[in-house]
C-alpha cells in the first residue's frame, strides 16, 4: 500500500474517533440550574422606592361650647394629653348654683311622688263617711225620722266626696311623679351645661397652640386650643403606574427613612392603607401609608411636613 493510501486511512480513523467522542445532546449541562443558583431571588419584585411627605392623621381645633369667662387653663403648649382629659374650664359658678336648686326641687318632688298619705287619708275618710251614712239609714229604718232627711243627704254627699277624693289623691300623686321627672331633667340640663363649660380633648395628642388666656371672654364656636396626634402619622407619596399596578401596592408594608439633623437616619415601619384610583397627569397615583412614630430624647422622629424616603416592600 502506498504512502498516500496510508495517510487517507489515518485521517478517516481520526475523524470517526472524534465524532464518537462528542457528548450526546441529552448530556448537555443544565444552564437553567446554574442561573438559578447564581440568582436565588430571580422573579421576586424589587421594593419600590419613592419620596413622601409626613402628614397628620388626627388633629382637633377645640372650640368653646358656651359663652363665658375662661376660668382655668390646665395645660401648656407641648403637653401630652389623652382623650377625655380636661384642658380648660369656663366659669360655671352660676350654673352650679342652678344645679343645686334643681336638685332640691327634684328631691322635694320625689318625696311627694313617693308619699301615699293623701291617698290613704282619702280612703279612711271615705270609710268613715260611708259608715255614718249607713248608720243614719239604719237608724231611720228602725225609728222613722230619727235622723233628719237633710242630714242623711248630707252624709251621702260627704261619702261621695270622699270617694272622689281618693281619685283626686291618685291624680295628684301622678302629677308629683311628673314633677319629679321634670326636676330630674332640670338636673340633667344643669349637668350638661357644666359639662359644656369643661373643655376636654377629643383625641390623644399634643397641645400645639393655646389661643385664649384666663379671664378672657369666649363665645360658642371660638377655637381655644389646638391638639394634634403625633404618635401615628401618615406618609403621602406617589408611585408610577408604569412601575407597578395599584392593586399590588395596597396593604403592603413600608419602610420610612427619616433624616435627622446631623445626617443620622432612622427607619420606621408602616403599612399602605389607601391607594388613590385617580391617576395624575404624569401617570402617577397617590398612596397613603400609616406609620407608628417614635420619640427620642423627648422629640418625635417624624414631624408633620417633613420630607422622607419611603420603600414599599
pLDDT, tens digit (0-9, with 9 covering 90-100), for 250-299: 888 999 999 888 888 999 999 999 988 888 878 888 999 999 999 888 88
Please state, rounded to an integer, the average pLDDT across all residues of the chain.
79
pLDDT, tens digit (0-9, with 9 covering 90-100), for 211-235: 999 999 999 999 999 999 999 999 9
Using the structure block, give the residue that is written with the C-alpha cell 431571588.
41
Let me know: does 65 contact 196? Beta carbons within 8 Å: yes
- Round to whole Å and give the CA distance between 10 and 31: 37
Higher per-residue confidence, 121 vs 269: 269
Cell of 131: 259608715
pLDDT, tens digit (0-9, with 9 covering 90-100), for 94-110: 999 989 998 888 888 87
Residue spans of alpha helices (H) in the chain: 3-20, 31-38, 93-114, 117-142, 149-196
| Pairing status of strand 48-56 against strand 217-218 | unpaired
Strand partners, 69: 217
Phi-psi region of 78 (alpha: psi -120 to 50; beta: other; left: phi over 0): left
pLDDT band at 241 (very low <50, low <70, confident <90, very high): confident
Query: In this structure, which topology does domain 48-58+230-312 adopt according to CATH?
Result: Elongation Factor Tu (Ef-tu); domain 3 (2.40.30)
User: Does pTM top 0.75 for this prediction?
Assistant: no
Let me know: does 137 contact 149? Beta carbons within 8 Å: no
Over residues 113-127, the mean pLDDT reads 70
Residues near 227 by beta carbon (within 8 Å), at least 6 away in sequence: 59, 60, 62, 81, 87, 201, 202, 203, 205, 206, 207, 208
pLDDT band at 37 (very low <50, low <70, confident <90, very high): very low
* Helix/strand/coil for 15: helix
- Round to whole Å and give the CA distance between 136 and 132: 6
* Helix/strand/coil for 102: helix
Q: Which of 2-16, 52-66, 81-95 has the lowest mean pLDDT?
A: 2-16
Residue 51 pLDDT > 70: yes
Higher per-residue confidence, 3 vs 107: 107
- Round to whole Å and give the CA distance between 230 and 209: 14
Amino acid at each position: 500500500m502506498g504512502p498516500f493510501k496510508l495517510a487517507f486511512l489515518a485521517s478517516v480513523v481520526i475523524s470517526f474517533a472524534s465524532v464518537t467522542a462528542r457528548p450526546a445532546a441529552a448530556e448537555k449541562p443544565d444552564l437553567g440550574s446554574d442561573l438559578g443558583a447564581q440568582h436565588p431571588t430571580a422573579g421576586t419584585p424589587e421594593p419600590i422606592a419613592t419620596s413622601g411627605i409626613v402628614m397628620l392623621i388626627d388633629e382637633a381645633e377645640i372650640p368653646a361650647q358656651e359663652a363665658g369667662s375662661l376660668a382655668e387653663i390646665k395645660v401648656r403648649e407641648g403637653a401630652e394629653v389623652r382623650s377625655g382629659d380636661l384642658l380648660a374650664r369656663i366659669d360655671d359658678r352660676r350654673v352650679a348654683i342652678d344645679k343645686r336648686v334643681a336638685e332640691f326641687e327634684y328631691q322635694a318632688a320625689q318625696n311627694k311622688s313617693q308619699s301615699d298619705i293623701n291617698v290613704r287619708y282619702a280612703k279612711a275618710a271615705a270609710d268613715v263617711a260611708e259608715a255614718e251614712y249607713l248608720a243614719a239609714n239604719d237608724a231611720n229604718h228602725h225609728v222613722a225620722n230619727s235622723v233628719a232627711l237633710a242630714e242623711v243627704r248630707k252624709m251621702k254627699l260627704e261619702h261621695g266626696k270622699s270617694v272622689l277624693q281618693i281619685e283626686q289623691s291618685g291624680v295628684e300623686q301622678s302629677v308629683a311623679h311628673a314633677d319629679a321627672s321634670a326636676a330630674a331633667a332640670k338636673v340633667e340640663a344643669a349637668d350638661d351645661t357644666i359639662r359644656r363649660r369643661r373643655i376636654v380633648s377629643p383625641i390623644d395628642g399634643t397641645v400645639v397652640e393655646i389661643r385664649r388666656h384666663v379671664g378672657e371672654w369666649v363665645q360658642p364656636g371660638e377655637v381655644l386650643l389646638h391638639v394634634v396626634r403625633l404618635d401615628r402619622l401618615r406618609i403621602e407619596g406617589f408611585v408610577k403606574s408604569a412601575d407597578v399596578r395599584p392593586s399590588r401596592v395596597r396593604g403592603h408594608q413600608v419602610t420610612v427613612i427619616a433624616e435627622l439633623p446631623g445626617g443620622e437616619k432612622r427607619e420606621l415601619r408602616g403599612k399602605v392603607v389607601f391607594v388613590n384610583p385617580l391617576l395624575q397627569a404624569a401617570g402617577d397615583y397617590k398612596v397613603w401609608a400609616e406609620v407608628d412614630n417614635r420619640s427620642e430624647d423627648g422629640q418625635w422622629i417624624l414631624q408633620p411636613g417633613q420630607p422622607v424616603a419611603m420603600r414599599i416592600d
